[in-house]
Amino acid sequence: MKSIYKTALIISALVAVWVYITIGYPHLNLIPWVGFVAWAAYFAAGGTTKAAKCSFIAGVVAILLTAFILYMVKLAGGSLTSMLILIPILSFILVSMAQFKNLSYTPGAFLGAACFFGTGGNVDLSILFILLSWISGIILGIVSVNLDKLTTIAKR
């Protein structure tokens, strides 16, 4: 079997598991698409241990910073003016984080922020489920790479 097909089958099986868990058990409050975004962020960062670390840290920090900024927007009255001041400050921070080694994956930071915005931007318990979904996506990426390696070693 061609390597790409083997990889595609492994990832497809993991996708099925993720969909089953997130849709089949809605009480877990996991967000399917956030997991997929984090999974993609992991692969875009290189699909390595370093990629897992940088996509995890950048994404989690960005989700938390975005929650904080949106909380500040709410405190400022939630007006367009408050958004036009505070959200660009968020983007400045997300880009500036790149000067720190563990926060240098700027695309991961913006993807994490986008996930928070995309889930409604509510500053409540849902933050926990966004974080859990993000972390699950990175774990799925790690598992998919390791299963791919494992099946390659077993083939030899």
pLDDT at 153 over 80: no
Query: Taking residues 54-75, what's their average pLDDT?
Result: 98
Do the Cβ atoms of 57 and 102 come closer than 8 Å?
A: yes
Query: Taking residues 74-83, what's their average pLDDT?
Result: 96
Record the pTM: 0.93
**How much is the pLDDT for 25?**
98
The predicted-structure confidence for 6-39, as pLDDT tens digits, reads as follows: 999 999 999 999 999 999 999 999 999 999 999 9
CA–CA separation, 117 vs 101, rounded Å?
A: 25
- The CB density around residue 25, as the number of other CB atoms within 10 Å, is 10
User: Sorting pLDDT into bands at 50, 70 and 90, what band is 155?
Assistant: low
CA–CA separation, 90 vs 68, rounded Å?
A: 9
Query: The tokens of 7 are what?
Result: 């990889």
Query: Taking residues 62-78, what's their average pLDDT?
Result: 97
Look at residues 106, 105, 108, 127 and name the one whose alpha carbon lies nearest to residue 116.
127
